[in-house]
Homo-oligomer: A and B are copies of this chain.
Amino acid sequence: MRSLFHPAIEDVRPDAILHALSDPNRAAIFAQIMRAGCVDACSALATLGDRVIPKSSLSTHFKVLREAGLIRSARHGVEMRNEARFAEVEARFPGLLDAIVNAYASDAGCDAMRVPAAE
């Protein structure tokens, strides 16, 4: 596997972040990573709410989040470890991530954010 691409923080663009998080599934994945600080595997959250996400789609979702500069991924043994680049993004775009995650969380109509492992 070739090493994963992560943009430098100064290359991170707001439109890429908004695009990445405009998908409720990706937003739910990112919210969970932010909450947990670190998520150990894609498969660990292969089900969001009650909807099953195929692993090829999941892989793409992680790639989009990674290339938008939202997460950092590294392989540890056989599985992937993902962590949010919260501090960096927060420094560059203050308040953005919190506002977005809170917006999703406060939206009652969005069941994709209900993750079983949430509490």
Contacts and interface: CB of A to CB of B under 8 A. Distances in A.
Interface of A: 11, 13-15, 17-19, 21-24, 27, 92-96, 98-100, 102-104, 106-107, 109-110
Contacts of A93: 99, 102-103, 106
A13 B110 contact: yes
A107 B14 CA distance: 7
Contacts of A94: 99, 102
B18 A21 contact: yes
- The prevalent SS among residues of A at the interface is helix
Nearest to A16: B22
A107 B89 CA distance: 12
Can you tell how many copies of this chain the complex includes? 2
A99 B107 contact: no
Given A95-B95, A95-B98, A103 B22 contact: no
Contact of A15 (B11, B15, B22, B92): B22
Contact of A23 (B15, B95, B102): B15
A109 B106 CA distance: 32
A38 to B, nearest CB: 24
